[in-house]
Amino acid sequence: MTKRSARQALINAPYMLWAGIFIVVPLFIVMYYAFTDSTGAFSFANILALADYAEVFRVSIIFSVIATIITLLIGYPFAYCLTKLPVRAQRMQMMLVMLPMWMNLLIRTYSWMNILEKNGLINTVLSGLGLPTANMIGTPGAVILGMVYNYLPYMILPIYTTMAKIDPSLSEAAEDLGCNAWQKMRRLIVPMSIPGVVSGITMVFVPSISTFYISQKLGGGKILLIGDIIERQIQVSYNYNLGASLSFVLMVLILISMAIMNRFSNGEGEMVV
């Protein structure tokens, strides 16, 4: 037994070393910067300065919550319909979901700029049809669209995976016992797919709340998210301390929301929403 665990530890060692150097140590560096001033002395100044950014945090949270809800509303039915397709078609569909991710985020976002622009693709079509044009670029809607578009695959994938694992015989049993389609959905499919939904929400919410590039390009520089502020502290202001303390608070926020989400998934299949 001890022999086996020693071997296990040896196998784990490279991973632990990797995680230590590239995950744990950098986190401590972030903490160090967050609680020191530019001379390296211990200071709460950066944390106190965060009060100035309360509004930016509020906007970022609202944007990411909206984006997460929309991806869930699109992703969940999509994943469900996917499981109803023949296996070959499922594979094809998954490919199509993944395909845009092979392109760089920057290029995808730039393309959206050209689509939403004042004289962009959509407005050209609209005016060609004699319809009034819409002002899309530089609006909150454009930023949320960018988030939804970019992060939707992260919602679909985990939900699809958990749904695909639900034993078809359970579904048949539910039907035998007289469940109609709605009851089957509510009492079987939804509860059983909760773990996928939880990880989908986490995987969309986390990148959404720290988004920066999308908001600059699609928001036309009129929308300021916390990711933009952090980027500017590091890239422009050369204020690593403030940048680190903003990142630190963001991490705490994410950890809290993940803890809340995990409470929902603890019950696994027994949860009733």
- The residues of the shown chain that bind other proteins, judged by CB under 8 A, are 52-53, 55-56, 59, 113-114, 117-120, 135, 137-138, 216-217, 219-224, 229, 232, 234-239
- In sign, the C-alpha dihedral spanning 83, 85, 87, 92 is negative
**Shortest distance, position 231 Cβ to other proteins, whole Å:** 11
**Which lies closer to other proteins via its Cβ, residue 114 or residue 180?**
114
**Shortest distance, position 127 Cβ to other proteins, whole Å:** 13
**Which lies closer to other proteins via its Cβ, residue 222 or residue 263?**
222
**Which lies closer to other proteins via its Cβ, residue 82 or residue 137?**
137
**Shortest distance, position 100 Cβ to other proteins, whole Å:** 21
**Shortest distance, position 67 Cβ to other proteins, whole Å:** 20
- The string over 85-123, giving b where at least 16 C-beta atoms fall within 10 Å of a residue's C-beta and e elsewhere, is eeeeeeeebeeebeeeeeeeeeeebeebeebbbeebeeb
Residue 211 structure tokens: 């988004």
Sort 79 into a burial class: Cβ within 10 Å, 0-12 / 13-18 / 19+.
Answer: buried
**Which lies closer to other proteins via its Cβ, residue 49 or residue 179?**
49
Calpha distance 103→237 (Å, rounded)? 31
